[in-house]
Amino acid sequence: MTLEASLDHVPEPLRFGTSGRRGLLIHLTPLEVYINATAELEYLKQLPPEAGGIRAHDRFFVAADLRPSSTQLDQNGGGEIAQTILRAIADADLLPVYLGTIPTPALTLYALDQGKGSIMVTGSHIPFD
């Protein structure tokens, strides 16, 4: 059986909006999340620090909202987004630091204060699915 034949839906690429990656939960598979996070981390590693660049072995902060899909696997194979992001950060030779469920502005302020990068796992501004 091919991978395509095993799918119960037609995958759609994630979109990029003013606040980051966007997509329906069904399309936020761990593989899709990992690929996107890895690409973004590799891009940031190519920038100089004064332009927001990150370096190997830097701490990199992650936080999540209270939606189940942010941290829990669902019956359709989606979810566990924060865990996937943490794995991508570690695989990018960075030190992932999970700050738990905090508001986006708190993560942003803390990361900026520390001079480090961050990713917020949230869907709080879009419909629940």
Instruction: Give the active site residues.
Output: 124
Assign 49 to helix, strand or coil: helix
Assign 27 to helix, strand or coil: helix
Could you tell me where the DSSP H helices lie in the chain? Answer: 3-6, 30-45, 68-71, 81-91, 104-114
Residue 89, both tokens: 């950060």
Q: What are phi and psi of 102, to 5 degrees?
A: -130, 160
Q: What are phi and psi of 127, to 5 degrees?
A: -55, 155
C-alpha–C-alpha distance, residues 87 and 62, integer Å: 11
C-alpha–C-alpha distance, residues 33 and 84, integer Å: 7
